[in-house]
Structure 1
Amino acid sequence: MSTGTLTSVAQDYIKVVWGLQEWSDAPVTTKDLAERLGVGPSTVSETVRRLVSQGLLDHERYGAIHLTEQGRRHALDMVRRHRLIETFLVQHLGYTWDEVHDEAEVLEHAVSDLMVHRIDEALGHPTRDPHGDPIPSANLALTQPAALTLTVLPEGATGTVARISDDDPDVLRYFADLGFGLDAHVRVHARRDAIGVIDVLWAPTNNPNHLTELTLGLRAADAVWIETE
């Protein structure tokens, strides 16, 4: 069964299960899927049962939902489509990084395998999307950066920005206005946990000596993933 033969609902479910596990060790529940997909718990339960019968998901009774090996391969194929489309929209059609997610959510179901291949070739086989999320290769291999969020780093920690979560478009627009993005050099200057802010010093990749101080609330800091040095 190719990914293209799955229904769009099945494609969405397996991609969401994979996405919930990509940067978190927390178990995936029917409640998580209902919240992420915007549907009711009964709808999730029914769909999960159907995907289990198709060999795409495993579901522990009253417990966590997991992808089967077949489900994982289909999910990675969908992730590859989505992230290549996002990259194409930014690099060739002038979209900003806060605009591409919803467009890619629609287009990923419509593009053919050939178009995905041609997009990949036209982009020079990129390994990450505009937000720093890794793009699976044509054989669905994926290398995830060893990154941690700013919220867990101690004072004095240094590194480069490997990923900025696309969950909140407002946060993306805020960082874009600052010029803060992937590969910026960052040092945690001070943690002021009592008031929920983190002070960082950062510099762009092309000017590492040009330091700027930035104070981030936890909402913004939690979106920034750092590969430490």
Structure 2
Amino acid sequence: MNPLTYAEENYLKAIYHLSEGGKKGVSTNDISGEMKTKPASVSDMLRKLGDKAVIEYRKYYGVHITEEGKKIALQTIRKHRLWEVFLVEKLKFSWDEVHEVADELEHIKSGILIQRLDEYLGFPKFDPHGDPIPDEYGDVRSRPRIPLNELELHSAGQIVAVKDSSAAFLRYLDKVGAYIGARIKVTDKVEFDGSIEILVDNKKSIFMSKDVAGNILVMQ
């Protein structure tokens, strides 16, 4: 099989995420929305990916990623998240600045470079946004986590990840003082609109809308 192009790797990564790790089929409309492109362009790309045996597509059943496709997608995700760790920890980027840069770096093909990068960083298990980093074999370390808005009143936990990694959302979290690793406790829940109040590190109270809290993942 010829190596995938940057665009093909981006599509494959999107299909992997949309399929929840390969557990379900994905519609072309979902892919079109994720990639922000026209359905006709998606169809052209799916034919190319199908020819390279990294996906299977059957009308009415959606797009399914193959085992080889999963392997490539996970290695691309691994590179992306390792580069994010490097950018934040070593080059002092903020967590809202790294995504686009890592999108470019994830396509570097050198396997030995990524092995050395992983070793240099101390074999991190999670990226700056709390997402697990696949190991060199594609295994992913998961941990139980729930959206903050599902935490019961007076329950405590720790912020471990975010669902929304857009720069605007991350800057908002920086502004209010919510960060990965923070210990939190739900001190109030508003029945009317689902907004909540949390206590961060036993010293700072933050009010959050239901949407914001739903995009923060916590571990109890």
Using the size of structure 2 for normalisation, the TM-score is: 0.90
TM-aligned CA deviation for residue 223 of structure 1:
1.8
Q: Deviations over 1:175-218 (max 9, x none)?
A: 12333211211222222242241222221xxxxxx332111113
CA–CA distance in 2 between the matches of 1:85 and 1:104?
6
CA–CA distance in 2 between the matches of 1:22 and 1:101?
20
Contact 2:176 2:206 in 1 (8 A): no
State the match for 2:143 in structure 1.
145
Helix, strand or coil: the match of 2:192?
Answer: helix
1:105 to 103, 106, 130: 103
1:212 to 204, 207, 211: 204
TM-aligned CA deviation for residue 58 of structure 1:
2.5
State the match for 1:16 in structure 2.
14
User: In the TM superposition, what are the counterparts of 1:10-159 in structure 2 within 5 Å?
Assistant: 10-22=8-20, 28-110=26-108, 112-159=110-157
CA–CA distance in 1 between the matches of 2:25 and 2:196?
28
CA–CA distance in 1 between the matches of 2:19 and 2:207?
29
> What amino acid does structure 2 have at the position aligned with 1:188?
V
Q: Give the number of aligned pairs.
A: 220
Helix, strand or coil: the match of 1:93?
Answer: coil
Larger displacement relative to structure 2 (159-168 or 16-25): 16-25
CA–CA distance in 2 between the matches of 1:28 and 1:221?
27
> What amino acid does structure 1 have at the position aligned with 2:215?
A
TM-aligned CA deviation for residue 156 of structure 1:
3.0
Shift in CA distance, 148/215, structure 1 to aligned 2, threshold 3 Å: same
TM-aligned CA deviation for residue 30 of structure 1:
1.3
TM-aligned CA deviation for residue 27 of structure 1:
5.4
CA–CA distance in 1 between the matches of 2:204 and 2:79?
36
Percent identical among aligned pairs is 31
State the match for 1:225 in structure 2.
217
TM-aligned CA deviation for residue 19 of structure 1:
2.2
Shift in CA distance, 24/49, structure 1 to aligned 2, threshold 3 Å: closer
CA–CA distance in 1 between the matches of 2:174 and 2:188?
23
CA–CA distance in 1 between the matches of 2:46 and 2:22?
21
TM-aligned CA deviation for residue 76 of structure 1:
0.4
Using the size of structure 1 for normalisation, the TM-score is: 0.87
TM-aligned CA deviation for residue 106 of structure 1:
1.1
5+ long unaligned stretches in structure 2: none
TM-aligned CA deviation for residue 146 of structure 1:
1.2
TM-aligned CA deviation for residue 22 of structure 1:
4.3
Contact 1:191 1:197 in 2 (8 A): yes
Shift in CA distance, 196/6, structure 1 to aligned 2, threshold 3 Å: same
5+ long unaligned stretches in structure 1: 204-209
Shift in CA distance, 22/183, structure 1 to aligned 2, threshold 3 Å: farther
CA–CA distance in 1 between the matches of 2:206 and 2:127?
25
